[in-house]
Amino acid sequence: MEQVTNNEILKIEKLKKYFHIGKDKQGPIYVRAVDGVDLNIKYGETLGLVGESGSGKSTIAYTVVGMYRPTSGQILFKGKNIGMEASKRPLSIKKEIQIVFQDPGSSLNPRQTIEQILALPFRIHTQMPKRQFREKMVELLEKVELSADYLYKSPPSIGGGEKQMVAVARAMASNPSLIVLDEPTSALDVSVQAKIINKLMDLQKEMHLTYLFITHDLSLMRNVANRIAIMYLGKICEVAEAVTFFEKPLHPYTQMLISSVPVITEEEKKLKPKKVISTGEIPSPVNIPPGCSFHLRCPYKMSICSKVDPEMIEVSSGHIVRCHLFAKLENKKTRKE
């Protein structure tokens, strides 16, 4: 669309990430984890990325953070190209982008104390002498509502929610501007999740952070994200503001997901789209169906859907969909002009 505008902290353009997993008669086989994604994130917002397993949402997160190198496409952070592995990025960029992983059990070294875990980013990214570390670490722990004696505990002896808070503290230690949160509360209970999410929202305001928030939990997304993007098999299906996303979901996959969320209030029940029952298994990203990748499970399938992959269409300001059902709208719009 346009060039990098001043208020975009991250801009992803035509990102593709393919994993080579072998060969067959026709040639090499790839897992097309991310297959042409355009996305941007504005300063200070929380962009939610939703999808099921195999959708590519985690792959995008990992590529942004530097675990993977993009197969093609661009990633611009504050205008600078960061489409490379973390080891090749300058330290100043590594400081700015941090990640919180999904599984608190394996994201903290079980053989270290919290003090050692938090000391690492301090040592690398600041010039502070070691004596001052402890003071800063206590401040950091207090920000995430953990008492100072947690410094001497080690991960196996503390609960999942607390471990995740430590992971958040570690991410904040280098004073970043963008934090990628890969399903940070999926492994936790609802009451613990509430605490952590509230803390994350407070910290976002306090420290002027931008979040790329990934989850499969739609009801969580509704209350956390400013804008939501939904992915299926490596491509984005729909992007909209959070409220619009739930009040007027356009893409059939979006409707299918929303209709399968278990809800508890009458208000929510009315909001759910009717009767888009999910059928069939999710195809694997090795064998992506031709045309629109969703057509095999789509209740509104048309003949064009199995042949041509739809383009992204802007239905209204900020609300874009990738679906042939709305191509007519776009045609109508261009005809009018």
Decide whether 9 or 65 has the Cβ nearer to other proteins. 65
Could you tell me the smallest distance in angstroms from the CB atom of residue 331 to other proteins?
A: 32
Distance in Å, CB of 307 to other proteins, minimum: 25
Per-residue binding string, other proteins, 218-237, x by CB under 8 A, is xxx-xxx-------------
Token readout for 292 is 């629109």
178 near other proteins (CB under 8 A): no
Nearer to other proteins, 6 or 81 (CB): 81
CA distances, 309 to each of 120, 161, 293, 299, 306 (Å): 46, 42, 8, 17, 8
CA distance 145 to 165: 8
Closest CA to 321 of 284, 296, 292, 290: 292
Taking the complex as a whole, the smallest distance from the CB of residue 222 to other proteins amounts, in Å, to 5
Q: Which stretch binds other proteins (CB under 8 A): 16-24, 76-84, 213-221, 287-295?
A: 213-221
Measured CA distances, 180 to 66, 123, 184, 227, 255 (Å): 11, 22, 10, 15, 26
State the minimum distance, in angstroms, from the CB of residue 317 to other proteins. 20
Min. distance of Cβ 324 from other proteins in angstroms? 22
Contact residue for other proteins among 13, 38, 52, 314 (CB under 8 A):
52
Residue placing its CB nearer to other proteins in the complex, 35 or 162: 162
Q: Which residue has the tokens 């301090």?
A: 122
Query: Strand pairing of 235-241 and 27-42?
Result: unpaired
Residue reference for tokens 């353009």: 13
CA dihedral over 211, 243, 335, 325, signed as positive or negative? positive
Q: Which stretch binds other proteins (CB under 8 A): 144-152, 206-214, 288-296, 301-309?
A: 144-152
100 - beta bridge partners?
181
User: Between 142 and 311, whose beta carbon lies closer to other proteins?
Assistant: 142
Give the count of residues interacting with other proteins (CB under 8 A): 78
Residue 233's closest CA among 17, 1, 13? Answer: 17
Question: Which two structure tokens, joined as six digits, stand for 79?
Answer: 């205008």
141 binds other proteins (CB under 8 A): no
Among 42, 78, 143, 272, binds other proteins (CB under 8 A): 272
Chain center to CA of 303: 32
Q: Which of 2, 24, 281, 337 binds other proteins (CB under 8 A)?
A: 281
How far is it, in rounded angstroms, from Cα 304 to Cα 283?
A: 20
Using CB under 8 A as the binding rule, whether residue 216 contacts other proteins is answered as yes
The CB-of-20 to other proteins minimum distance in angstroms stands at 14
Q: At 115, give phi and psi (nearest 5°).
A: -60, -45
Q: Which of 16, 42, 78, 134 binds other proteins (CB under 8 A)?
A: 134
CB of residue 287 vs other proteins: minimum separation in angstroms?
13
The interface with other proteins within residues 72-131 (CB under 8 A) comprises 86-87, 91, 94-95, 98-99, 101, 103, 106-112, 116, 120-121, 124-125
Which phi and psi (to 5°) does residue 91 adopt? -60, -35
What tokens does 263 get? Answer: 């809800």
